Chains A and B, each alone.
Chain A
Amino acid sequence: QVQLVQSGAEVKKPGASVKVSCKASDYTFTSSGISWVRQAPGQGLEWVGWISAYNGNTNYAQKLQGRVTMTTDTSTSTAYMDLRSLRSDDTAVYYCARDDIVPTLNFHYWGQGTLVTVSS
């Protein structure tokens, strides 16, 4: 059964960085991509970006360009999302989802979510 297991909750101060991990299992990691979606408390879904686990190509949401970096470690089938210069409005649950080798919105499998709280 395909599984995506994310790292635990984080509390960060404004201006800091956070790195969330997403470990995949039970499928060929390099034949897929990983998308990240976030959800602020009580709000809707917001796409953060996508990375190909095949070749490392990325596509980031315009509003986060310059602050977000997505990477993968194919040796451990793990994807990472690094968000810098954190602001209070970055407080959200961050989800990873299995995507294709090109970005789609067909997320059949999701991680359990990681709450990132930005507070002074």
Chain B
Amino acid sequence: QSVLTQPPSVSAAPGQKVTISCSGSSSNIANNYVSWYQQLPGTAPKLLIYDNNKRPSGIPDRFSGSKSGSSATLGITGLQTGDEADYYCGTWDSSLSAVFGGGTKLTVL
């Protein structure tokens, strides 16, 4: 059971928009920055969003992050088949450990 709660799966058609939620608590998301990672099968995770809403260089603006209270959201617009992957949110917890969500599998129909 992960400290952060994500939906196990989401799906949408190519070109559409999808959002992935990440629910936490006052012990973690509410008082810390959130990062988002994309993981393609058999590869290391890739940083998509850090500090709630910042994109590393090279990440297209189709990817966006937001946070409100103890929840965070990853948005992906203009879905492409190459976006099919597992997505993870992560943040710090008051226990002084980093925590991740259980992951969300994105299917582009």
Interface residues of chain A, those whose CB is within 8 Å of chain B, are 35, 37, 44-47, 50, 59, 61-62, 95, 103-108, 110-113
Contact = CB atoms under 8 A, between A and B. Distances in A.
- The B interface is mostly helix, strand or loop, or mixed, namely strand
A95 B44 contact: yes
Interface string B79-109: 0000000001011100111111111000000
Contacts of A35: 98
Interface string B7-20: 00000000000000
A107 B101 contact: no
A22 B102 CA distance: 26
Contacts of B37: 45, 107
A52 to B, nearest CB: 15
Contacts, number: 57
Given A45-B45, A47-B97, A106 B35 contact: yes
A104 B56 CA distance: 14
Contact of B47 (A46, A61, A108, A111): A108
B96 A59 contact: yes
Nearest to B91: A105
Interface in B44-87: 44-47, 50-51, 56
B2 A105 contact: no
Contact of A62 (B47, B90, B97): B97
A106 B44 contact: no
A26 to B, nearest CB: 16
